[in-house]
Structure 1
């Protein structure tokens, strides 16, 4: 019971921390490839001492098979593509629109969980998921502009949602045997490597940026990545990709609130209604998932 509280408490912390991503990206005056590169490169530097000075982490990493190394770098590639597409979408459409679309991951996670892991989802869980997604759509509805530029940004965000789901599915598989630090370092290193190559191919500068941009890079690393995305990596050992994806619907709520205080974006009455609906859907989802676990436990007992 206590472990369950810690895990779901960590999930809430991770969602809130991840809500800062779009804000920091907007504050960073740099190409999307550079912003994504430094986010993950700095994360590797922070995590490296936990790998070097902890024997368990070193042994786990160097005992991986060739297949596991390949999967780790593949997850890094997926993460790199996700960040480039999502960060790029923020140049074409609003923070709310991009975040709403990129958090529609349950559409991919439920389908993938069914076919890859044979996960069964009850009708009540699906219904509560739909309620949350409707709430998210209501939040961003006013920002879903009907023009070519906004449409390009929305399409990029939607593709990014599918790709990050693939990243989490690999994590769900690998985290069963691999501790979170070596798994995260493996994926982040691969991702930073691919992003560096992409940035070089685009011939963009790695250093010529103002102090505010470097502060945004550090914020993305410490808050959005270490306290946000990496927390999800840790939780993948116990929680499915579907649960992680559903919880990330709460990201749009945090993003709207932060955008109000930091970027001066107004929260309309429509967005307020959407926030309430999203929270109701997430509460129902948590209730039905807990009920299902209790029923499964009683049946096994």
Structure 2
């Protein structure tokens, strides 16, 4: 395996910063959840397809049917992740939704050990997960729509864990761009079919909403998810998964300044605990890998 051009642990943290904008741009887009998710993927494919066709055309032609099916399966799970998570934002707060969807380390750590024999230091991961529970626990006390939103966000965590675990295996065989164009492409098609089935309008939308679609593609997807997929070739799936817990901290801070959603004392405390857990986890995992 070739050496990465930058430190993959640093790249993952930068990806987390980009991913934190996902809920902000989604909340600002005035469109149905499935439409938001579809255009997020559609703009991502439009931005990446030209580069992929120029640099990865030969590799795309040589991809085995098994890897095509796996990549498309990962894309379908990604589309289900977006569909459930984006919908959850209509029923619960940004903080609670982001926290629940980032509970996916529970599934990724278990799957990483089961399928890839990945061993990690669980202390930092446990601390970060505990912080995530504190960030969102105030919303768990609210019934009705908030509970439905929390459930949808949790389903999003299961789907994104599957997407990440599949990527961990395929990225050992495929370059980044050929892999992600199949993933994002199949995700886009799945979301388009869902929008057609539910008879959701593809147009018209305001210029501001179109801008949000484009920003969702450029920042949390290309600078976030694509960076995560790049890093999966060099680090354990659990490293990417646990690091994404930091997204809830960034999203909560951004929600305060943009939407004036004031975090509770528990959420602030939980955010500090998440950061502490991430520092412990990444440092201990890096030592195990060295």
Q: Is the 8 A contact 1:165 1:241 kept in 2?
A: no
Whether 2:205 is the aligned partner of 1:209: answer: yes
1:6-25 pair list within 5 angstroms: 6-25=7-26
Q: Distance in 1 between matches of 2:156 and 2:148?
A: 12
Q: CA deviation at 1:127?
A: 2.0
Query: Alignment partner of 2:7: what SS?
Result: helix
Q: TM-score, normalised by structure 1?
A: 0.92
Residue of structure 2 in register with 1:70 after alignment: 69
Give me the whole-angstrom Cα distance separating, in 1, the residues matched to 2:175 and 2:145. Answer: 42
The structural deviation recorded for 1:4 is 8.4
1:297 is matched with which residue?
none
The Cα shift of 1:200 comes to 0.3
Distance 1:233 1:261, change over 3 A: same
Distance 2:64 2:129 in 1: 39
Q: Structure 1, unaligned stretches of length 5 or more?
A: 295-301
* In structure 1, C-alpha distance between the alignment counterparts of 2:65 and 2:90, rounded to whole Å: 38
1:39 — aligned with what? 40
Q: TM-score, normalised by structure 2?
A: 0.96
Aligned residues of 1:96 and 1:252 also touching (Cα < 8 A): yes
- Per the alignment, residue 178 of structure 2 pairs with 182
Pairwise CA distance, 1:272: 2.0
Q: Say if 2:91 and 2:145, in contact at 8 Å, map to a contact too.
A: yes
Structure 1 Cα separation of the partners of residues 35 and 93 of structure 2: 20
Q: Which has the larger radius of gyration?
A: 1
SS of the aligned residue for 2:114 comes to helix
Match of 2:132 in 1: 136
Aligned twin of 1:26: 27
Structure 1 residues 146 and 266: alpha-carbon distance in aligned structure 2, compared to 1, 3 A threshold: closer
State the alpha-carbon separation in 2 of the partners of residues 142 and 51 from structure 1: 44
Give the aligned CA root-mean-square deviation in angstroms: 1.4
The Cα shift of 1:105 comes to 1.1
